[in-house]
Amino acid sequence: MTCNTSCRAETLMFVIFMLACSFIASCAANLNQDLEITWGDGRAKMLNNGNLLTLSLDKTSGSGFQSRNEYMFGKIDMQLKLVPGNSAGTVTAYYLSSQGPTHDEIDFEFLGNLTGDPYILHTNVFAQGKGSKEQQFYLWFDPTKDFHTYSVLWNPLSIIFFVDGTPIRQFKNSESIGVPFPKNQPMKIYSSLWNADDWATRGGLVKTDWSKAPFTASYANFKAQACIWSSGGSSCTSNSNDTWLTQGLDSTSQESIKSVQKNYMIYNYCTDTKRFPQGLPRECSVNI
Catalytic residues: 105, 109
User: Is residue 38 left, alpha or beta, with left meaning phi > 0 and alpha meaning psi from -120 to 50?
Assistant: alpha
Euclidean distance between CA atoms 27 and 51, whole angstroms = 10
Half-sphere CA count of 255, side-chain side, radius 13 A = 2
d(CA 76, CA 7): 39
67 phi-psi bin (left φ>0, alpha ψ -120 to 50, beta other):
beta
Helix residue ranges, H only, the chain: 5-21, 31-34, 251-264
Measured CA angle at 40 (ends 36, 45), to 5 deg: 55
Alpha carbon 101 to its chain centroid, in Å, reads 22
